[in-house]
Structure 1
Amino acid sequence: MLLTATHSEQDPIEGRIPGNKGIWAGILSEMTEFALLFVVYFIARAHFPQAFHEGPLQLSLFAGTFNTVLMISGSYFVANAVIAIRQNRPEVSLRWLVLVLFAACGYFVTKYFEFRWNVSQGITGRTGIFFTVYYYLTFTHMVHVGWGIMGLLWVMARTKAGAYIPTEHEGMEAFASYWHATDLVWLIIFPLLYLLR
């Protein structure tokens, strides 16, 4: 009998795009929206270089860094959730998704205290052009994280109900793709607003 290597049904098909067309249309819309906001950022920076030099010095680098750690951690957790479901370990997958939820909620809590600290320092959207751009970018990103949390809760419910199996977990992959895209946007926002002088 001739034995040949076959592709495991639990492994992702090579070259297949994860998720579905709908989520990628959403991700394209998200990326287009932020691309326009980044264009605004660079135009404003070109016209007001001093404001964009001084602005980051007035923000909480700790808050920005901590949120970066949370976003990266969330991406790591969701990747492990997908791996676990591919290995037919839904309970483990759900535990990873709970960690994603903690990271996402931690992001919101950190943003809340960061904004409170900003206001106590007299930093609002009307303080100057840098802070107008800062609030637009960070608030828009917060909205996308909020949508991600809603998607995450749905995926968690579906995982708990046993809806995902190694050969059919498109919904979880779609959420993971969205979360990674939102994380990628933050990894651009963080250096532009908190580090670049």
Structure 2
Amino acid sequence: MQAELDSPPCALLTAPVTPPVESGRVPGNKGIWVGICCEFVEFLVLFAVYFIARAHFPEAFEAGSERLSRVSGTLITVLMLTSSFCLACAVHTVRAGRRRASVAWLGAGLLIALGYPVAKVLEIQWNLAHGIDGEAGIFFTVYYYLTFNHLVHAVWGILGMIWVMLRHVFGAYSAEDHAGLEALASYWHATDLIWLVIFPFFYVLV
């Protein structure tokens, strides 16, 4: 009973037994972690720009945050977190030898992730209808630059999901060899983490 309580939620829905992961092994591959580190460095620079601009124009940031749609920001957050959960379950189930369940989880993660660019387009349309464009002030210039950069990284992740999904369907991954699926999940989790920083910086203004 205790083992079931300690298992991830997806484990209770799919496989009760999971082979132990090799201790000390980094998931994915070296290439994806180089990419993730570059992504973090890029956004660290952008966050530095954010804080410099905010320090110089505090009133503009305070007023700008009130004009954004928190519903849109919250929806994107839910989509990112849910798709990340599905990818984690895809990795968990393939490790357990349940390839079909892993494919299903990955497919669910892909479908949910596709909701992000759709939600972003709808948000931009809402913004433009309310006079919020790149020339509406320093806050919105920084907002568009950071969120568009994040969207680009998310689109790369979605394209990666499509590629990994095709390989997974045709049996490229197994309990013994699934580094490509782990690499995808690692990248998407990193992109998710960055959004969890962006969301309060713009939509809640912490």
Q: Using structure 2 for the length normalisation, give the TM-score.
A: 0.90
Alignment match, 2:72: 63
Match of 2:46 among 34, 37, 48: 37
Alignment match, 1:147: 156
Which structure 2 residues correspond to residues 15-164 of structure 1 after superposition, within 5 A? 15-164=24-173
Match of 1:179 among 185, 188, 194: 188
Structure 1 position 17, deviation (Å): 0.7
| 5+ long unaligned stretches in structure 2 | 1-16
The 8 Å contact of residues 29 and 179 in structure 2, kept in 1 or not, is answered as yes
Structure 1 position 9, deviation (Å): 9.4
In the TM superposition, structure 1's runs of 4+ consecutive aligned residues that sit over 6 Å from their partners are: none
Structure 1 position 10, deviation (Å): 3.6
Q: Residue type of the partner of 1:31? A: F
Q: Residue type of the partner of 1:175? A: L
Structure 1 position 176, deviation (Å): 0.4
The 8 Å contact of residues 9 and 166 in structure 1, kept in 2 or not, is answered as no
Distance in 2, matches of 1:186 and 1:66, equals: 12
The 8 Å contact of residues 67 and 110 in structure 1, kept in 2 or not, is answered as yes
Alignment match, 2:201: 192
| 5+ long unaligned stretches in structure 1 | 1-7
Question: What is the root-mean-square deviation of aligned Cα atoms in Å?
Answer: 1.3
Structure 1 position 118, deviation (Å): 0.2
SS of residue matched to 1:33: helix
Q: Residue type of the partner of 1:119? A: L
How many residues are treated as equivalent by the alignment? 190
Deviations 1:42-61 (A, max 9, x none): 00000000001111100000
Q: Using structure 1 for the length normalisation, give the TM-score.
A: 0.94
Alignment match, 1:5: none
- Greater relative contact order structure (CA < 8 Å, 6+ sep): 1
